[in-house]
Amino acid sequence: MSYLQRNAHKRIDPQQVLAGVRSVICLAASYHGNSSKDSSESQSDAAQGVVARYARFADYHDVLGERLKALASFIDARGEPGSRSLSYVDTGPLLERDLAQRAGIGFIGKHTNLISRGLGNWFFLGEVLSTIEIEPDAPERNRCGTCTRCIEACPTQAIRAPFQLDARRCISYLTIELKGSIPEDLRSAIGNRIYGCDDCLDACPWNRFAAAGRLMAPHLRKDLNGPDLIELLALSDTGFKQRFQGTPLARAKRRGLLRNVCVALGNIGDSRALPALDLAARDAEPLIAEHARWAIDQINKRTGGARSDGRVAV
């Protein structure tokens, strides 16, 4: 988690990001209503993985980034001579959830994510910093009340207390940000999630008011809803790049995603997954091989070592 220390001085002082900044315009784009239910609810016989809902689209950095650049140019063209604007989509050194709360978009829930009364939990954030002064909106106040559903829903108990998240236990961190081995004591709680986790977001009662988004709808990737885990495990470097280029999953790289696939198969797979896992256990990437061996061991424990071809796994 040491990367959080980079540019910490900029996160608390927007003047360090854009000299002379006087306003921050915060924007939200919903991705609700465009993706199917999680594959954990599917009736398919295939061992399927779960991808976080936001990642079942083309990369939102690209989709929203171009629009925010156009907005920044629009502001500059109609502002004072010499005015300057700068846009970010989840990439700049900004405390964007805090800024969005101050701008009235939503409030920070007990799961530490932003909640909107009109969008629920399903939206992206973007910002435009500008040297133009704009009248501010009223900040949003917290509306969680006594609800603790998000805390109770977390599979790894990463939400240690209201508004306190141990990111090192969060499945989104473990499957995306963590570059090394996933701690063994947390692997079973990951279930069949292979990229991110929505459980704390999905539990929030404010979602019943969420309006469906239109901006992201044309960029939906249906192949990322319940992908076949055994098929994913066969991906080469070239195959991984071809399938996931231009999507958020590219961030995990092959070694990270196949590590996650192995964990998922270890949790939900049966003897049909063993041939693919046997090959993965000999992968040139040590991270994949390690997690494949763990998955084989987990399946053997559940099945008594019996394979689909009648042999006994060793």
Query: Average pLDDT in the 260-274 region?
Result: 97
- End-to-end C-alpha distance for the chain, whole angstroms: 37
Contact status, residue 40 vs residue 52, Cβ threshold 8 Å: no
Asked if 202 is an active-site residue, the reply is: no
Element (H, E) at 129: strand 123-130
Catalytic annotation, pick one of 45, 90, 166, 283: 90
pLDDT for 152 beyond 90: yes
> pLDDT confidence of 314, banded at 50, 70, 90?
very low
Q: Residue 256: which of 270, 237, 272 has the closest Cα?
A: 237
Nearest CA to 159 out of 206, 199, 105, 196 is that of 199
What are the φ/ψ torsions at residue 16 (nearest 5 degrees)?
Answer: -75, -15
Half-sphere exposure of 203 (CA within 13 A, CB side): 17
Examine the pLDDT at 305 and tell me if it is beyond 90: no
74 near 263, Cβ under 8 Å?
no
Residue 2 predicted with pLDDT over 80: no
List of domains in the chain: 2-227 (no CATH), 228-314 (1.25.10)
What per-residue confidence (pLDDT) applies to 308? 44
CA distance 109 to 112: 5
pLDDT tens for each residue of 175-185: 999 999 999 99
Are the C-beta atoms of residues 116 and 167 closer than 8 Å to each other? no
Phi then psi dihedrals of residue 19, to 5 deg: -60, 130
Q: For residues 207 and 53, what is the distance between their CA atoms, to the nearest angstrom?
A: 14
pLDDT per residue over 8-54, tens digit each?
Answer: 788 888 899 999 999 999 999 999 986 545 444 444 567 999 999 99
Tens digits of per-residue pLDDT, 290-304? 999 999 999 999 988
